[in-house]
Amino acid sequence: MRWTRTLVAFTLALAAGVTTVAGAAQSTQGPPSLQPRWESRLQQQLGLSDQQLQAIRDVYQRDAGAKRQHGQQLRQAQAELRHLALTSTDNHAIQAKQDDVERLMAQSAQMRTSTLRQVAPILTPDQREKLVLLMERGGHGRHRRQAS
């Protein structure tokens, strides 16, 4: 049971990260002064060329609609699960909804992995290592963890 809770908590955190990245990918292209903050920060921290940045932007925008819809489905299923857990005594219904949420979370992880696999060839080996470090310390989202 403890393992399941840990897995669900981890997957929720991962889904929140995917939603954050997908939301950032919805931004429109404009002059450098109007670039979304995530793009300019990423370009500065990784030393990306304008061509690399555009290629990464294209990767994120390619499936932005599907990612947005998936995120909405996941949030809806999570809300339904919370509601069932608090109001229902039907263990089968709760388990079915939990299975649904876990399936959607697994799909979120697959989508995130697919996106990263598409971004990887755009980056140099040094940039990939920098991105790994940024992601490990939480530099890709709003809630940064302190480096230990």
Q: How high is the pLDDT of residue 72?
A: 97
- The predicted model gives 144-148 an average pLDDT of 48
CA 109 to chain centre: 8
Q: Please give the model's pTM, rounded to 2 decimal places.
A: 0.66
Q: How high is the pLDDT of residue 137?
A: 86
**Alpha carbon distance 38, 54 (integer Å):** 13
CB atoms within 10 A of CB 133: 12
CA 59 to chain centre: 14
Q: Residue 62: phi, psi to the nearest 5?
A: -55, -45
Q: How high is the pLDDT of residue 66?
A: 93
Query: What band does 39 get if pLDDT is binned at 50, 70 and 90?
Result: confident
pLDDT of 14 above 50: no
